[in-house]
Structure 1
Amino acid sequence: MKRWCRVLLGLAWLTAACGETAPSPGGSPAAATDPIEILRAAAGSGDREARASLALALANGVGVVRDDAEALRLAKLAAAQGSADAQLLAGLLLREGRGTTADPVAAFRYTLAAAEQGGVDAQFALAWTFEHGIGVARNPEEAARWYRKAAEKGDLAAKRWLARAYFEGIGVPRDLTLAARWRIDAASHGDADAQAEAALSFLRGEGVLRDDSAGLRYLEDAAESDNALAAFALGALHETGARGATADPNAALAWYRRAAALGSEEARARLEAIEAGASASRRDP
């Protein structure tokens, strides 16, 4: 899961360490100011945060050659000392089989421990684990519970997942009003996928009063952020002049082309149909 890997970039402790000048084991001036050597010295002395940060650096190859096995070793040490970041990292490495044989059950245990400490990334990761049944029985209700915890702390992807859960009734009772509310919440913070989904809520009047103007505005925001679905929808609306959109063949073509460039097969098919129609008209004036 790409989203889970975000923890690998959380090197706040490492950044702070860059300004320190503690002596290194070797005692050389260069080593004394090398942040990685500072971390190694502190980690070797048992410092929990140094172990966690060095594990993160090694797992991501930041300032050092990537070494998953050593990253996992240090992450486990820091995790045993209670570091939530290290617990989450250990879970990631074990799930992916990096530096060791994949062990999804152990990965789940580490992720659960991290999530119970309240970190939003860990809570999202645990929810994803329950959703997909990785190392634990698939449990949509538990997935929804942990996604909600992450969503309530502002995580946009978790908000979008909750919206989908309420819209489809996955792990929670189906509730279009709550689905729209979470969609709009995430959309208002710039999540392009949520903007496209919020647009559909407004255009269809699902969970909110129908509002074509708001729907078009959210579609435009999403499309400008390279959401293919939104770009295709704008093309269709400008082609037909529906839902308050201005009928504009040129705008329709522009949006279809943008959607096609973003991978929309529907947009490619529509462009081919438009071109075929134009070719037929040229042959038979």
Structure 2
Amino acid sequence: MSKLICTFLALLLLSGCTSRPKNIDEMVQQAELGDPSIQSSLAKMYSKGIGTERDYTKALYWYEQAANQGDAKAQTKLGWMYDKGLGVSRDYKQAVIWYRRAAEQGDKWAQNNLGWMYEAGRGVSPDYKQAVVWYRKAAEQGHSRAQNNLGLMYKKGRGVPLDSKIAVDWFSKAAEQGYRCSQNELALMYSKGTGVVKDDLKMFFWFKKSAEQGLAVAQVNLGATYEEGLGVTQDYQKARFWYEKAASTEYASAFHQLSRLYREGLGVEVDIKKADELASKAKALGYECDDTES
């Protein structure tokens, strides 16, 4: 083949002029040829209902085809299918098998999930030290949820010596990436001066970041900062606003906080009947005193 023809073919590839599947039927045909990347993409289409009806059974089949060829992302997804019982009976042991295969190839999602399986004792015996090993591998690759999980292990002293300062470091890394659970955790550390110097302004900042992303516990915490005037000017109306935001998601503690506002007349007229109704709602949702709130 002449250099001119070779160059022309190379340009075709670079310009995207190669034949690509246009619909689900063409994807199936190409997946049947054995390309794991196409098999994995096809599985995702079935899993998400993209270009076809959602079908977890078919998603499972194609993830298996790709996973058996060593595709790490497909292995992670296959583990997830077994973990959640999608297209197959839930099987934590199988989930662990596939998470491990992907994790050992360096897939950070699988590493975090495998860490969780060890922490929760799903499909394996509970082992906090192994959980830390896998959380750390994922966290060091910048996986925000793994960073949060690793922070929690240090905060609780699970699998590692309790170290609030290191916990704060990991919460900070995840919070700065926008992970709302870590933002709430970091705010709690500032509120109590645990692992950091107590700082109500930073506490308010991170509660607000988390609350604005819809985390109900952070919305209640933010409401409490407005109610008590911590790191912000006291404002009962804004406190009620954030409690109501959390209550709209059926978060039990929010109903308790609203009940108290109406019972004590904080920013609203005293309404004992409404206070009792809100308290009953909180109780029905399983409200218990929650020490993660400020």
Normalising TM by the smaller chain, what interval?
0.7 to 0.9
State which of 234, 256, 263 in structure 1 corresponds to 2:243: 256
The one-letter amino acid of 1:256's match is Y
CA distance in 1, matches of 2:111, 2:23: 30
State which of 86, 93, 97 in structure 2 corresponds to 1:109: 97
Answering whether residue 89 of structure 2 is matched by residue 135 of structure 1, we say: no
Label 1:79 to 1:215 Cα distance change in 2 as closer, same or farther (>3 A).
Answer: same
Q: Which runs of 5+ in 2 are unaligned?
A: 1-15, 273-294
CA distance in 2, matches of 1:187, 1:268: 27
Q: How many angstroms does 1:94 deviate by?
A: 3.1
Label 1:232 to 1:38 Cα distance change in 2 as closer, same or farther (>3 A).
Answer: same
Label 1:45 to 1:172 Cα distance change in 2 as closer, same or farther (>3 A).
Answer: same
SS at structure 1 position matched to 2:261: helix
CA contact (8 A) 1:204 1:210 kept: yes
CA contact (8 A) 2:129 2:158 kept: yes
In the alignment, what sits opposite 2:35? 47
State which of 221, 227, 234 in structure 2 corresponds to 1:247: 234
Q: How many angstroms does 1:21 deviate by?
A: 6.0
1:135-163 alpha-carbon deviations (Å, 9 max, x no partner): 22222211121111111111111111111
CA contact (8 A) 1:131 1:143 kept: yes
CA distance in 2, matches of 1:215, 1:133: 33
CA contact (8 A) 2:92 2:122 kept: yes
TM-score, structure 1 length as denominator? 0.78
Further displaced range: 65-74 or 37-46: 65-74
SS at structure 1 position matched to 2:124: coil
Label 1:249 to 1:116 Cα distance change in 2 as closer, same or farther (>3 A).
Answer: same
Answering whether residue 98 of structure 2 is matched by residue 75 of structure 1, we say: no
State which of 216, 221, 225 in structure 2 corresponds to 1:237: 225
RMSD: 2.7
Q: Which runs of 5+ in 1 are unaligned?
A: 1-18, 23-31
In the alignment, what sits opposite 1:275? 262
Answering whether residue 147 of structure 2 is matched by residue 159 of structure 1, we say: yes
CA contact (8 A) 1:192 1:222 kept: yes
Label 1:58 to 1:178 Cα distance change in 2 as closer, same or farther (>3 A).
Answer: same
CA distance in 2, matches of 1:227, 1:213: 19
SS at structure 2 position matched to 1:236: helix
Length, aligned pairs only: 255
In the alignment, what sits opposite 2:133? 145
Further displaced range: 48-57 or 140-149: 48-57
TM-score, structure 2 length as denominator? 0.76
* Identical aligned residues as a percent: 35
